[in-house]
Amino acid sequence: METLQILQILWFFLIGVLFIGYSILDGFDLGIGAMLPFLAKDKKDISTLFTAIGPVWDGNEVWLLTGGGALFAAFPHVYATVFSGFYLALMLVLFALIFRAVSLEFWSLDEARRTIWKWAFAIGSFLPALLFGVALGNVILGIPLDDRMEFTGTFFTLLRPYPLAIGLLGLSAILLQGCTYGALKTAGELHDRLVAAGRKIIVGYAVLFVFAGVLSGIFIPGSMGNIPAWVCAAIVLASLAMTAVRIGTGKGLSAFFLSSLSFTGLWGIAGSLQFPNLVRATGGDQLNLSIYNTSSSQLTLTVMLIIALIGMPVVIGYTIYSYRVFKGKIVL
């Protein structure tokens, strides 16, 4: 195998790791935000949940920026195609994240309009949680591309049944992340509500997972014969079962890790179905955007790898340190 091929494969997995890290870490604060109006009964509950995510939520989004930057540098044609084709959806995500950040600050300062800022935070969390999964479902299923690697569909092309099902599955995984992390950080009635919500979400998560699997068998030929995808599917189901047992038993950290493992399994399935493609084309395999026909040069991938080997331990170390500093239950 040539050096360039090795680097292309390596960067496929490294970018996957970055997106997994983002899903796990920003997933829980998106999940808490999306459920905020339904879980928090008063100002104290909202303050508790905001305090639980406040010190870490903006650091969690570094993983998304890093993943997007790595995609741009390693596979620029994919970056250009996805960001131009999904432009409207990504603008919705961007504005949602902006309102989310603003509402978190204004809620504590603008007492007269706290209800507005609460719902702004919830909607700003819900939209990205749903649309990230819809985007992933589209690149797995395939989007209309021409021979210049340009998207030829419309915004409504993205709203097909399979991507919407993947979007709902991703949303359920994010909501479960929010419940397990919230239960880890809270006590009393708020903790109990998070645990009860988590148990219900696990059921919905499992149903959506099976439904998405059936749709994959229908819409993606050959997916049922993908052995790595079946292994990852077993990890997802086993993790969900163990999360259901652990959540609310005083073993909150293990429940959060198990929920995160199920999320990792979902990404494993996506990677197994995609490799070596990054974006499938509905017009035929010859139009697919793969790691081989969209990558940067060998020199670029090598320099990026050196930077990653230096920078990633710093990012991981900082993440671990920040969570250790702010560990423990939130008591107001």
Query: Radius of gyration over alpha carbons of the chain, in Å?
Result: 20
Single-letter code of the amino acid located at 275: F
Residue-wise pLDDT for 105-160, tens only, equals 888 888 888 889 999 999 999 999 999 999 999 999 999 998 888 888 888 888 99
Q: Rounded distance, CA 56 to CA 182, Å?
A: 13
pLDDT for residue 148 = 86
Single-letter code of the amino acid located at 41: K
| % of the chain at pLDDT higher than 70 | 100
Average pLDDT, the chain: 91
Region class of 280: left (phi > 0), else alpha (psi between -120 and 50), else beta: beta
Q: Rounded distance, CA 185 to CA 253, Å?
A: 9
Taking the complete model, does pTM exceed 0.85, yes or no?
yes
SS3 string, 183-221, reads: HHHCCHHHHHHHHHHHHHHHHHHHHHHHHHHHHHHHHCC
For the chain, give the longest Cα–Cα distance.
Answer: 64
Residue-wise pLDDT for 238-275, tens only, equals 999 999 999 988 778 899 999 999 999 999 999 999 99
Could you tell me which residues come within 8 angstroms of residue 42 by beta carbon, excluding any fewer than 6 positions away?
A: none
Q: Rounded distance, CA 2 to CA 149, Å?
A: 25
Residue-wise pLDDT for 61-120, tens only, equals 888 888 989 999 999 999 999 888 888 888 999 899 888 888 888 888 888 888 899 999
